[in-house]
Structure 1
Amino acid sequence: MGKLNKKIFIPLFVLLLLVISVGVFSMRADYTSAELFDAKHEFSYGEQANQDLKIYQKGLKKGEKTPVVLYIHGGGWYAGDKANVGKKPGYFNKKGYTFISMNYRLSPVGNYQDQANDVAAAMKWIVDHADQYHLNANQITLMGHSAGGHLASLVALDPQYLKEVGLPLNTIRGVINIEGPLDMSDFIKEVPKYKSVYGKNPNVWKAASPSTYLGQQAVPPMLIISREDASTTKFVKAAKKLGEPVDLLTTHELSHSDLTGLIGTNENAEAIQVTNAVTKFLQANQLNTFK
């Protein structure tokens, strides 16, 4: 009788393992991540050093395409790295977004035009690989901190950068500028050390200023997050006078670095306020999610 039970038990056990394996495989087929459909999640969007990006993505259902937040780090145009993302990837993944953090050529190797071209090139990479990596190419929001906020705004307002890579101006669904300069003339006069990056020619400062291009073409929806700053307030007033969809969240407690570092956390009341404002902005400007 014991031998008979053993003969029956072993095939049943094998069958049970097979059923469990099929179930696990089915779950993995329905839910994927960057690691599952490609062995890596860091990619080059250009051939030069620092022209790379990292995809943060999880919990996707088969066939879904997610809206994208493309994050551009700060660092004074000469420092910083795409790894400086804080809690943002996990937070935005849970909200249904793919979070992509990019590097760009830093000064003195790259000037502001090279850096803006890098942002446009990273966007082109996203558009070209949208099907492969479950990305909604119609839902790309630029988010940048400090120098990265400046570059995001410049690419959104000066049409030359997207045109250079063959993308229409409406490829940018929205811009979240976290304390990035909008008028470089004002900024460099206030912080003269950045002449080491931008030089001493006021014409260059003007050409590098997102504010220069207000009124020349439609501006995508913008959320500007900043502490009290006269130059930023001036930009927002000018944009609103033109009827452009630009909003300002003025903060009072968080430091320059914490304005980005604490997004996606409940560290304090103002971190929660900033996180909620960013989330609301993304949701308000989101179309055809997961199509």
Structure 2
Amino acid sequence: MRYKIAILILLNSVLLGSCASKKIKDASYLETSKESTIATPRLNVFVPRNSKAKQLPVLIFVHGGYWNSGRKGTYDLLGRNFARKGVVTVIPDYTLSPDMDYDGMTKQIASVIQWTKDSISKYKGNPNAVFVTGHSAGGHLGALAVMNPKYGIDPKSISGIILNDAAGLDMKHYLEENPPTMDHNYIATWGTSPTKWQDASPIYFLNKNTPPFLIYVGDKTYTSIKTTNKRFIDALHAFQPGVQSVRLDKKHVPMVTQYFYPWSDRFDEVIGFIKSEMK
């Protein structure tokens, strides 16, 4: 009986989300290469249906999955739930390891950000109120795309970054203690050079222009994620002394699946952060 009730509640939330939002599916953000045998990734956009606002805040969500798994379609409910609450939401796919390393993935996420800045006004989005979020590996890629200057994104053009149980914030520290192996395609993703690992780590690109952060960490998550977030927040305090992690009594995967349910308190928190940082 409880299972049936849970399914009915979930179906109801799906129907409500569908009525309240419109999904633009598989928009192109990269040029298609005829030579490549790898499918060119695309993105979905979720737009509030009945909003009277001319410009709405924008949230780019980057999915996780050890940098070698995951797909945008898994997160439709997240996109619809934010859209029904007045936030235009962009959810991309990106090429996964071993077909691409962290650098290529981050270049693609930077292209998503640039596409959003250039195109989101067509979908009622405000290009001057763009926020980047991601879960696990997605938190790493989103932060790195904004913070490492080689990817060409002006950090001052991003209104805020929301990390959801983010991994990889200091890959140099992690991989020096846990050298990469074939597990999870880590050698393909990170290579074997400490110089590369530092280049892959957002912690080394913190500065006075770094966008404001909202950081969530699960109390029951992986030890490596707790460690990397503590190191990152300690370093961030030189520039944003008031930032503390929001700790939740959850494991790693439920940290993102909570957004599949429209009644989650996280929506009010995230939207409150968005409103406080809009320029």
TM-score using structure 2 length: 0.77
CA contact (8 A) 2:161 2:212 kept: yes
CA contact (8 A) 1:221 1:245 kept: no
Moved more, 137-146 or 181-190: 181-190
Matches within 5 A, 1:259-278: 259-263=255-259, 265=261, 272-278=264-270
Distance 1:148 1:34, change over 3 A: same
Q: Which residue of 1 aligns with 2:222?
A: none
Distance 1:223 1:243, change over 3 A: closer
Q: Deviations over 1:209-239 (max 9, x none)?
A: 0011123x51101112113513311210221
Matches within 5 A, 1:215-234: 215=207, 217-228=208-219, 229-234=226-231
Query: How far did residue 91 of structure 1 move?
Result: 2.0
CA contact (8 A) 2:212 2:240 kept: no
Look up the equivalent residue of 2:132 and give its one-letter code.
L
Q: Deviations over 1:50-86 (max 9, x none)?
A: 4310011132446712211111111111111011216
CA contact (8 A) 2:47 2:123 kept: no
Distance 1:114 1:45, change over 3 A: same
Q: Which residue of 1 aligns with 2:245?
A: 248
Query: How far did residue 261 of structure 1 move?
Result: 1.0
CA contact (8 A) 1:206 1:212 kept: yes
Q: Deviations over 1:118-158 (max 9, x none)?
A: 11111221222233222210011111111110011112221
Structure with max Cα Rg = 1
Q: Does 1:205 align with 2:197?
A: yes
Rounded Cα–Cα distance in structure 2 between residues aligned with 1:41 and 1:282: 25
CA contact (8 A) 2:96 2:105 kept: yes
Matches within 5 A, 1:19-58: 41-48=25-32, 49-58=39-48
Q: Deviations over 1:80-111 (max 9, x none)?
A: 10112163223211221111110111112221
CA contact (8 A) 1:87 1:262 kept: no
Rounded Cα–Cα distance in structure 2 between residues aligned with 1:196 and 1:160: 21
Give the percent of matched residue pairs that are identical in Structure 1 and Structure 2: 27
Q: Which residue of 2 aligns with 1:257?
A: 253
Query: How far did residue 274 of structure 1 move?
Result: 3.8
Query: How far did residue 243 of structure 1 move?
Result: 3.4
Rounded Cα–Cα distance in structure 1 between residues aligned with 2:89 and 2:119: 15
Q: Give SS of 2:259's match.
A: coil
Matches within 5 A, 1:44-193: 44-48=28-32, 49-61=39-51, 64-85=54-75, 87-161=77-151, 163=152, 167-180=153-166, 181-188=168-175, 189-190=177-178, 192=180, 193=183
Look up the equivalent residue of 1:184 and give its one-letter code.
M
Distance 1:187 1:226, change over 3 A: farther
Distance 1:238 1:33, change over 3 A: closer
Structure 2 residue ranges without an equivalent (≥5): 1-19, 33-38, 220-225
Rounded Cα–Cα distance in structure 1 between residues aligned with 2:78 and 2:30: 25
Distance 1:245 1:127, change over 3 A: farther
Q: Which residue of 2 aligns with 1:285?
A: 277
